[in-house]
Amino acid sequence: MSKSISQLPLALQSLFAELHAEQAVEQVLDAVDGTQTKATSEDIMDEFVRIETEVDADPIDEDDEEQIDMDCVSVEMLEMFS
């Protein structure tokens, strides 16, 4: 069930027009000055050096519960998340 833009309420038509205009401006700006490029791995490493930080060699974020093996968690912690 799809509708054409002209069948939507005026508020949604206005929102669509605004978002469409923003997208067009972003495409023009990207084509003109190219400041929005994807960062390469080398760019990221250069940034670490520039701001004098260390690269975390461990890919696991200990604060992210989705990356932690729940079999290694205590029984009490398992009860909290169950």
In sequence order, the 6+-apart residues with CB closer than 8 A to the CB of 45 are 55
What is the structure's pLDDT at 33?
A: 62
* pLDDT tops 80 at residue 80: yes
* pTM, entire model: 0.35
pLDDT in tens, 38-74: 778 888 888 877 777 666 666 666 667 676 666 777 7
pLDDT in tens, 12-45: 989 999 999 999 988 877 766 656 667 788 888 8
What is the structure's pLDDT at 20?
A: 93
68 DSSP assignment: S
* pLDDT tops 90 at residue 77: no
Residue boundaries of the structural domains of the chain: 1-57
- What is the average per-residue pLDDT within 1-19? 87
Q: Alpha carbon of 7 to those of 1, 3, 10, 12, 18: distances in Å?
A: 12, 6, 9, 10, 17
